[in-house]
Amino acid sequence: MEEVRLIEVKEEILADNNQVAAGVRDQLRNKKTLLVNLMSSPGSGKTSLILRTVEGLKQGLKIGVIEADIDSKVDAEKVAASGIPAIQLRTGGFCHLDATMVTQGIDALAENDLDLIIIENVGNLVCPAEFDTGAHKNVMILSVPEGDDKPLKYPLMFSICNVLLINKIDYLSLSDFDMAALRKRVLALNPGIKIIEVSCKTGAGIDNWIAWLGQEVESFRSGQ
Is 127 one of the binding residues for a copy of itself (CB under 8 A)?
yes
Binding to a copy of itself (CB under 8 A) within 174-203 occurs at: 174
Q: Which one of 31-39, 49-57, 69-77, 111-119 is the stretch in contact with a copy of itself (CB under 8 A)?
A: 69-77
Give the number of other CB atoms < 10 A from CB of residue 190: 18
* Whether 198 contacts 49, CB under 8 Å: yes
* Binder of a copy of itself out of 38, 39, 53, 69 (CB under 8 A): 69
Is 123 one of the binding residues for a copy of itself (CB under 8 A)?
yes
Closer to a copy of itself at the Cβ: 155 or 214? 155
| Spatial separation of the C-alpha atoms in residues 200 and 197, rounded to whole Å | 10
Helices (H), the chain: 2-30, 46-57, 74-81, 99-109, 150-153, 155-160, 179-189, 206-221
Q: Which one of 65-73, 109-117, 133-141, 208-216 is the stretch in contact with a copy of itself (CB under 8 A)?
A: 65-73
Give the number of other CB atoms < 10 A from CB of residue 78: 16
| Spatial separation of the C-alpha atoms in residues 59 and 221, rounded to whole Å | 16
| Spatial separation of the C-alpha atoms in residues 85 and 114, rounded to whole Å | 10
Is 145 one of the binding residues for a copy of itself (CB under 8 A)?
yes
Is 125 one of the binding residues for a copy of itself (CB under 8 A)?
yes
Is 41 one of the binding residues for a copy of itself (CB under 8 A)?
yes
* Binder of a copy of itself out of 33, 37, 53, 124 (CB under 8 A): 124
Per the rule left: phi > 0, alpha: psi between -120 and 50, beta: everything else, 197 is beta
- Chain residues binding a copy of itself by CB under 8 A are 2-3, 5-6, 9, 13, 16, 41-44, 69-72, 74, 93, 95, 100, 122-127, 130, 143, 145-147, 149-150, 152-156, 168, 170-171, 174
